[in-house]
Structure 1
Amino acid sequence: MTEWMYFYTPMCGTCKLAERFIDLAEHLPGAGQVMRRDINEYSELAQKWQITSVPCLIRIAENKPVDRIYAFHDVPHVYQFLKNSR
């Protein structure tokens, strides 16, 4: 089963914009739901998964990260990541 996890920090303006893109993309056909995690509260997991910056959207399969994006160009870009990862 494929899942997605979005890592952010509360004071990050770019993270807020990226989350808005995710919010919009999630409602499109075939996208699925994205879990949201404040990286400050999940620092051990972030280290384990080698997250180098935020915002970061990770595709998870079998409880392991298999793909990620750090650049959130626009809603279609995020939607394609979510849709093509299914």
Structure 2
Amino acid sequence: MKEVSKETWDTIKNDKAIIFIHTPFCATCQLAEKMLRVIEEADPSRVIYRMNASFYPDFMIENKIESVPAVVIWDGDNVRDKLYAMESVTKLYGLIEDWEQKWNILK
């Protein structure tokens, strides 16, 4: 996963991306991150960005992110779709595959 920093945000904010939103001390976030790492290992060409919600309060408010963990599809302007409940690696993998096709995200 690539950490979203000021520099990486300036690079991806105008592009399409899959973003995992978390906070450092959230146990559910840590579990969701482990699932996402399995998905990344299955396809190393896939890029998932990791955003610490605490550093991006404006993003959270503007895009109505209600809780963490969250996985969102960013279209270069706003959040197009979001998921809060990571039920299983299989379900999460299928959703990400669907998003990549639906929103034309190149791996």
- 5 Å matches for 1:6-85? 6-29=20-43, 32-85=46-99
Q: Which residue of 2 aligns with 1:3?
A: 17
User: Contact 1:8–1:15 (CA<8 Å) still a contact in 2?
Assistant: yes
Q: Which runs of 5+ in 2 are unaligned?
A: 1-14, 101-107
1:74 is matched by which residue type in structure 2? S
Question: What is the TM-score normalised by the length of structure 2?
Answer: 0.73
Which of the pair has the greater relative contact order for Cα pairs under 8 Å at 6+ separation?
A: 1
SS of aligned partner of 2:86: coil
- Please report how far the alpha carbon of residue 31 of structure 1 lies from its aligned counterpart in structure 2 after TM superposition: 7.5
Q: Which structure dedicates a bigger proportion of its chain to helix?
A: 2
Fraction of identical pairs, as percent: 23
RMSD, aligned α-carbons: 1.7
TM-score, normalisation: structure 1: 0.90
Assess, with a 3 A threshold, how the Cα gap between structure 1 residues 65 and 2 changes in structure 2: closer, same or farther. Answer: same
Alignment CA distance shift 1:60-1:78 (3 Å):
same
Moved beyond 4 Å, runs of 4+: none
Q: Give the greater-gyration-radius structure (CA).
A: 2
C-alpha deviation, 1:61, in angstroms: 1.7
